[in-house]
């Protein structure tokens, strides 16, 4: 196996560049400066896109680029580090789009010898990319087109039986360019958000299959393994470990319920009458079969589930996560886990983002409740809250862009603009992307984080779990200078908390470690990450240096948005969260005090109305990417 001469360990030092228009594959060296300034993963992706994409291009046109990137820890024993980022210009939002997924794909790519894959152009007919160590080829996928992600996975594996392929693919939703189509790997792992699957579909690229027989080497194996073992002890000792390990993310349904923020009926309420039907206990007792882990993860929050009775008896597979349970469930008034498991299964096979899908259906249900939509508009489907069959029927129609499904396939923002009649008021989105599960009126840092996330309403950009974990007041003072930091309903100190999480989160996504290791147990903090990265790569890093890298990545993504004319005055929340107090439950009366937090946030970031100041860019060494006046027009 040829190991490259890349000066840092942990990396392969090679990236694959594919031009689908020209049907050409090239292997290029990873730039040393990119590794030093951006680490890899999400950082590598934004650096590549801002340099190589022209502003204002059509996201579904030939000019758009997909970057699939791993981190220097990917493929090692660093806990939960087997993730990858897929980034592009989002067709859903028109700004930076990226999604992140676990499973087993990313380490396999590293073992084949590559840090990243760049996909350019558009194939004339359906293709898939095949990577077997040094051998990289563009193959005919006409027999796969029209197949769902599970079928695609099965067919490709049967064609290359001996080679243990890891596969990412799109389903029919990506082929039909549903604006929130996902890219799936390992059947139930989704790079779900911002419509990355639609971009893959627009390029006629059905799948990427990889097998690798190589390895990842770290700079200091003894220190690395010792520190890994120490971190594992911390993870296992964390009080939240049993919940995540046994119940998976379904335990968050209970946390949201207790705080009065269990999003119900398109976020009209934070209390759900049918909570018992979707609770963690119900999931655990009736549906969970076992754990189903990502590669190299000690937490294994992923679960495998099966429906034993009723009309969906026999449906089994990777379980719906918390986000899917709420967005496909309580947001649509549905309190039946069997239906949610089936809906989630369909989304996985079609390749759909369960968050945007569920939210768009919930939006349509509210429009139906208000009489703005009637059966005449919905192909005769009764969109009453809680109608389980309606959800299932709509998933099929949306994936295929059939009838009423075609309207919903563009997401809430575009759908509401077409429906009109005041529906914009309850079309919930930020920058065009539908919001995640937690009702942020009960978690204010999360609220700010949705507004300021570069890719639109996004819980993972900041993921400020700190405010939710019931920490003592002293810890709030120690970390963020205020005892209010541990009170989820308080807005004070949340700007500082959000900036810190966003910056460190960008580092975590670039090292490609899972945020659950970093922001759930806080088992890997910046000084720990510094150690992991130093021991793995041999770079001379400090805590300050890696936090600056995070800030650099965050600002560069913001510049991407700015040159699309979508940075200034774009950090908002739907009025439902800022002006409509929660009507009942433990959080009755709560709204998000966004303006107060945003003012502080911009001061800390040194941004004006959402756009970075020149001095800030200089300080971060990215002034060459400053937005030119002509770009913004």
Partner 1 sequence: MIKRIFADTKRCNGCRICELRCSFEHDRVFGTKLSRIRIIMNEEKGEYRPNTCRLCYKCIKACPENAISKNEKTGAIKIDHELCTGCGKCVEACPFNVMFLHPIKEKAITCDLCEGDPQCVKYCPEKVLFYTTSQEFKKLTS
Q: Using the rule CB under 8 A, is 523 a contact of partner 1?
A: no
Q: CA 337, CA 324: separation in Å to the nearest integer? A: 11
| CB-CB neighbours of 51 under 10 Å | 11
Tell me whether residue 121 or residue 318 sits nearer to partner 1 (CB atom): 318
In terms of phi and psi (left: phi > 0; alpha: psi -120 to 50; beta: otherwise), the region of 247 is alpha
Q: CA 458, CA 98: separation in Å to the nearest integer? A: 11
**Single residue of 18, 141, 200, 218 touching partner 1 by CB under 8 A:** 218
Q: Using the rule CB under 8 A, is 291 a contact of partner 1?
A: yes
Tell me the closest approach of the beta carbon of residue 409 to partner 1, in angstroms: 27
**Single residue of 43, 195, 212, 261 touching partner 1 by CB under 8 A:** 212
* β-strands 127-132, 205-211 pairing: parallel
Q: Using the rule CB under 8 A, is 72 a contact of partner 1?
A: no
Binding to partner 1 (CB under 8 A): which residues in 100-159? 104, 107, 111, 150, 154
Tell me the closest approach of the beta carbon of residue 154 to partner 1, in angstroms: 8
Tell me the closest approach of the beta carbon of residue 317 to partner 1, in angstroms: 7
Q: Using the rule CB under 8 A, is 277 a contact of partner 1?
A: no
Q: Using the rule CB under 8 A, is 240 a contact of partner 1?
A: no
Q: Using the rule CB under 8 A, is 214 a contact of partner 1?
A: yes
**Single residue of 254, 292, 323, 439 touching partner 1 by CB under 8 A:** 292
Tell me the closest approach of the beta carbon of residue 135 to partner 1, in angstroms: 14
Q: Using the rule CB under 8 A, is 511 a contact of partner 1?
A: no
Distances (CA, A) of 296 to 73, 102, 184, 220: 11, 10, 19, 19
- The DSSP letter of residue 246 is I
Nearest CA among 319, 332, 301, 64 for reference residue 195 = 64
* β-strands 189-191, 205-211 pairing: unpaired
Q: What dihedral do alpha carbons 423, 425, 431, 434 form, nearest 10°?
A: -70
Tell me whether residue 318 or residue 411 sits nearer to partner 1 (CB atom): 318
Question: Which range touches partner 1 (CB under 8 A), out of 36-44, 185-193, 367-375, 587-595?
Answer: 185-193
Nearest CA among 499, 529, 500, 527 for reference residue 514 = 529
Tell me the closest approach of the beta carbon of residue 299 to partner 1, in angstroms: 8
Q: Using the rule CB under 8 A, is 183 a contact of partner 1?
A: no
30 contacts 118 by C-beta, under 8 angstroms: no
347 contacts 324 by C-beta, under 8 angstroms: yes
Q: Using the rule CB under 8 A, is 186 a contact of partner 1?
A: yes
**Single residue of 40, 72, 75, 97 touching partner 1 by CB under 8 A:** 75
SS3 string of 492-534?
CCHHHHHHHHHHHHHHHHHHCCCHHHHHCCCCCCHHHHHHHHH
What is the sign of the dihedral through the CA atoms of 523, 529, 534 and 537? Answer: positive
- The DSSP letter of residue 222 is H
**Single residue of 60, 297, 346, 587 touching partner 1 by CB under 8 A:** 297
| CB-CB neighbours of 628 under 10 Å | 10
Binding to partner 1 (CB under 8 A): which residues in 312-331? 316-318
**Radius of gyration over alpha carbons of the chain, in Å?**
23
Q: Using the rule CB under 8 A, is 372 a contact of partner 1?
A: no
Tell me the closest approach of the beta carbon of residue 603 to partner 1, in angstroms: 43
Nearest CA among 459, 250, 274 for reference residue 355 = 459
Residue 404 neighbours by CB under 8 Å, 6+ apart: 377, 378, 379, 381, 394, 397
**Single residue of 28, 143, 230, 290 touching partner 1 by CB under 8 A:** 290
Tell me the closest approach of the beta carbon of residue 216 to partner 1, in angstroms: 5
Q: Using the rule CB under 8 A, is 390 a contact of partner 1?
A: no
Question: Which range touches partner 1 (CB under 8 A), out of 209-217, 249-257, 344-352, 473-481?
Answer: 209-217
Q: Using the rule CB under 8 A, is 396 a contact of partner 1?
A: no
Q: Is 29 exposed, middle or buried (0-12, 13-18, 19+ CB in 10 A)?
A: exposed
Tell me the closest approach of the beta carbon of residue 9 to partner 1, in angstroms: 10
Q: Using the rule CB under 8 A, is 295 a contact of partner 1?
A: yes
Binding-site ranges for partner 1 (CB under 8 A): 1, 75-77, 104, 107, 111, 150, 154, 186-188, 212-218, 221, 225, 232, 289-298, 300, 302, 304, 316-318
């Amino acid at each position: 196996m040829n190991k490259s001469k890349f000066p840092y360990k942990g990396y392969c030092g090679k990236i694959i560049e594919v031009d689908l228009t020209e049907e050409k594959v090239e292997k290029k060296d990873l730039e040393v400066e990119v590794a030093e300034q951006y680490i890899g993963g999400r950082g590598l992706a934004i650096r590549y896109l801002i340099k190589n994409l022209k502003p204002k291009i059509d996201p579904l046109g030939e000019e758009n680029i997909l970057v699939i990137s791993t981190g220097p820890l990917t493929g090692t024993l660093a806990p939960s580090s087997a993730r990858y980022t897929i980034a592009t210009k989002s067709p859903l939002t028109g700004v930076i789009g990226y999604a992140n997924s676990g499973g087993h794909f990313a380490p396999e790519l590293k073992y084949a010898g590559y840090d990243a894959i760049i996909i350019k152009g558009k194939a004339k007919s359906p293709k898939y990319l095949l990577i077997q160590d040094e051998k990289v080829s563009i193959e005919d996928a006409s027999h796969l087109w029209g197949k769902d992600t599970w079928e695609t996975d099965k067919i490709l594996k049967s064609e290359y039986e001996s080679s243990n392929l890891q596969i990412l693919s799109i389903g029919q939703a990506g082929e039909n360019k549903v604006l929130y189509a996902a890219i799936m790997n390992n059947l139930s792992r989704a790079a779900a958000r911002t419509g990355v699957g639609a971009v893959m579909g627009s390029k006629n690229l059905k799948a990427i299959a990889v097998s690798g027989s190589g390895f990842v080497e770290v700079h200091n194996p003894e220190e690395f393994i010792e520190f890994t073992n120490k971190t594992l002890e911390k993870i296992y000792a964390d009080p939240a470990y049993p919940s995540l390990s046994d119940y998976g993310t379904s335990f968050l349904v209970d946390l949201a319920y207790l705080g009065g923020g269990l999003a119900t009926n398109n976020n009209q309420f934070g209390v759900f009458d049918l909570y018992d039907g979707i609770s963690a206990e119900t999931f655990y007792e009736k549906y969970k079969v076992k754990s189903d882990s990502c590669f190299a993860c000690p937490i294994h929050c992923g679960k495998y589930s099966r429906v034993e009775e009723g009309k969906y008896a026999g449906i089994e597979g990777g379980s719906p996560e918390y986000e899917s349970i709420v967005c496909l469930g309580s947001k649509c008034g549905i309190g039946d886990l069997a239906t949610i498991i089936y809906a989630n299964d369909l989304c996985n096979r079609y390749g759909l983002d369960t968050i945007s899908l569920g939210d768009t259906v919930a939006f349509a249900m509210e429009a139906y409740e208000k009489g703005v939509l009637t059966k005449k508009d919905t192909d005769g489907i009764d969109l009453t809250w809680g109608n389980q069959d309606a959800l299932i029927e709509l998933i099929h129609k949306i994936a295929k862009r059939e009838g009423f499904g075609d309207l919903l396939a563009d997401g809430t923002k575009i759908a509401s603009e077409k429906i009109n009649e005041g529906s914009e008021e309850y079309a919930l989105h930020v920058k065009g992307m539908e919001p995640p599960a937690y009702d942020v009126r009960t978690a204010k840092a999360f609220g700010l984080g949705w507004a300021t996330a570069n890719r639109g309403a996004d819980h993972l950009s900041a993921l400020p779990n700190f405010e939710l974990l019931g920490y003592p007041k002293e810890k709030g003072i120690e970390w963020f200078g205020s005892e209010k930091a541990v009170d989820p309903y308080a807005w004070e100190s949340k700007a500082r908390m959000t900036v810190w999480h966003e910056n460190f989160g960008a580092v975590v996504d670039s090292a490609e470690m899972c945020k659950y290791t970093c922001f759930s147990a806080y088992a890997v903090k910046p000084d720990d990450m510094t150690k992991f990265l130093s021991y793995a790569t041999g770079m001379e890093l400090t805590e300050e240096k890696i936090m600056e890298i995070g800030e650099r990545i965050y600002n560069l993504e913001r510049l991407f948005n700015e040159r699309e004319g979508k940075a200034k005055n774009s950090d908002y929340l739907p009025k439902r969260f800022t002006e409509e107090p929660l009507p009942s439950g433990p959080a009755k009366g709560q709204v998000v005090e966004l303006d107060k937090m945003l003012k502080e946030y911009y001061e800390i970031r040194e941004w004006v109305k959402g756009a970075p100041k020149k001095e800030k860019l200089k300080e971060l060494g990215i002034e060459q990417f400053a937005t030119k006046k002509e770009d913004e027009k």
